[in-house]
Amino acid sequence: MIDSRNLKKRDLYLQKLIAFQDTEQVKVVTGIRRCGKSSLLKLMAAHLRKAGISDDHIVEMNFESYDFKDMTVDSFYNYVKKHMLSDKRMYLFFDEIQRVSKWEDAINSFRVDFNCDIYVTGSNAYMLSSEYSTYLSGRCVEIRMLPLSFSEFLYFHDFEVVESESAFGGIHKQVRDKNGAVYDLKEAFEAYMRFGGMPGIAEVGLNQEKALMLLEGIYSTVVMRDILERENRRGGKRITDSILLNKIVMFLADNIGSNISVSSIGNVLANEGLLETGKREAPSAHTVSLYVNALTEAYFFYEIKRFDIKGKEYLRTLGKYYIVDMGLRNYLLGFRDRDSGHALENVVYFELLRRGYDVSIGKIDNMEIDFIATNADEKVYIQVTESMTSEDVRRRELAPLRKIGDNYEKIVLSLNTGLDNSYDGIKSVGVIDWLLGWS
């Protein structure tokens, strides 16, 4: 049982729930396992209590609890009905509801029969937004949760950013822990890149051995149990080869930020001897596509499409994949620096999603722009690189941005910006500052 008094805030997501409070839609919280969905429901219930809603107007059920393990859809409905107060607005919170067969029938009945506001989470094993939409006839709103941002990472680990005047003018930024020890801000960012943003890491501390054990548990649950069980439960039995699934995970994790054709993955695995002896024949493109789709549906990987800026159309070929958490990638592949540029891209991509942007890769002639980020109000073109101090790197990163003829904002994010903060109107911004909202 999660005690809401000890919960760390996740205001980005809590405010989204609050915005839809007392609306007709069922509020559906999705995201990879252990990213904080259950805690978010507790935070929302605590918000209601603070606003004056009494306990008897709130029904909370976590279907991973032994109390509810044998519930059928009928006993589920009757349990909730028994707790309803006539002519009172009720608030219903259902965590891991997929464990109840035909749960969707009960949810629809609650909407029709009672004066209630409904909040739901579910394991990605069985419950995805497309399935919710089918079950609930479009009467739902999805809140997608991600692991911790860098700012949330600092907060969860009790770090506070402090500023001081440097000896050379300007501001020097550091972080201070709860014991008063002070560290360089870049050192804290390196810890974020190493351990990732799963909230549970804060409970075990920044201890590599303990963190890897926690990440192993998440991986085995999400990939090796949830995905396989989900397919069996749906009756499709499409994802049956756990070895192939694991190899595809490793391949995608090793190639984040690279242009990938799903149809070629099986051939690469076979040609490089990454499939078991006796299974060296490449799986069909259709089979690989099913496995990759299962991983994206479980929010383990996110696919990003390419957009032709001149042709103003999305391209079907050579998208990219990013992994939902850098800690999980480090668990899978080990800690290394050789592709730190792509790792930096990975972090920027998910921060853009947190900020509500739709994100695509930009193509202009034969050049590529890392991200085109758009929302209802703006469009931003973004390049990501480790350093802007080299003339060759500057030329490479700025060239595609200079080709774009419109007047939308153009930014290069890097760990080392050099001395210039703009190039012909193209901003050069430190990625750590940008992640913390200081740019």
Return the HEC string of the chain: CCCHHHCCCCHHHHHHHHHCCCCCCEEEEECCCCCCHHHHHHHHHHHHHHCCCCHHHEEEEECCCHHHCCCCHHHHHHHHHHHCCCCCCEEEEEECHHHCCCHHHHHHHHHHHCCEEEEEECCCCCCCHHHHHHHCCCCEEEEECCCCCHHHHHHHCCCEEEEEECCCCCEEEEEECCCCCEEEHHHHHHHHHHHCCCCHHHHHCCCHHHHHHHHHHHHHHHHHHHHHHHHHHHCCCCCCCHHHHHHHHHHHHHCCCCCECHHHHHHHHHHCCCCCCCCCCCCCHHHHHHHHHHHHHCCCEEEEEEEECCCCEEEEEEEEEEECCHHHHHHHHCCCCCCHHHHHHHHHHHHHHHCCCEEEEEEECCEEEEEEEECCCCEEEEEEEEECCCHHHHHHHHHHHHHCCCCCEEEEEEEECCCCCEECCEEEEEHHHHHCCCC
The answer to whether 119 and 93 have CB atoms below 8 angstroms apart is yes
pLDDT digits (tens, 9 = 90+) for 269-286: 877 776 654 555 678 888
pLDDT digits (tens, 9 = 90+) for 381-393: 999 999 999 999 9
Looking at residue 1, its pLDDT comes to 47
% of the chain with per-residue pLDDT over 70: 91
pLDDT digits (tens, 9 = 90+) for 306-354: 887 777 877 777 789 999 999 999 999 998 777 889 999 999 999 999 9
% of the chain with per-residue pLDDT over 90: 63
pLDDT digits (tens, 9 = 90+) for 22-72: 999 999 998 998 999 999 999 999 999 999 999 999 999 999 899 998 899
Contacts of residue 398, Cβ cutoff 8 Å, sequence gap at least 6: 383, 412, 423, 424, 426
What residue has token string 């770090």?
159
**Burial (CB count within 10 angstroms: exposed 0-12, middle 13-18, buried 19+), residue 365:** exposed
Q: Write out the two tokens for 231.
A: 């397919």
Q: What's the mean per-residue pLDDT of the chain? A: 88
Residue type (1 letter), 264: S
Q: Report the alpha-carbon distance of residue 105 to residue 118 in Å, rounded.
A: 14
Length of the chain: 439
The answer to whether 95 and 103 have CB atoms below 8 angstroms apart is no
Looking at residue 277, its pLDDT comes to 47
CA separation, residue 340 to residues 186, 187, 385 (Å): 14, 15, 9
Looking at residue 209, its pLDDT comes to 94
Radius of gyration of the chain (CA): 23
Decide which of 236 and 119 is more confident.
Answer: 119
The answer to whether 315 and 363 have CB atoms below 8 angstroms apart is yes
pLDDT digits (tens, 9 = 90+) for 130-185: 566 566 767 888 899 999 999 999 999 999 999 888 777 777 889 999 999 999 99
Looking at residue 3, its pLDDT comes to 57
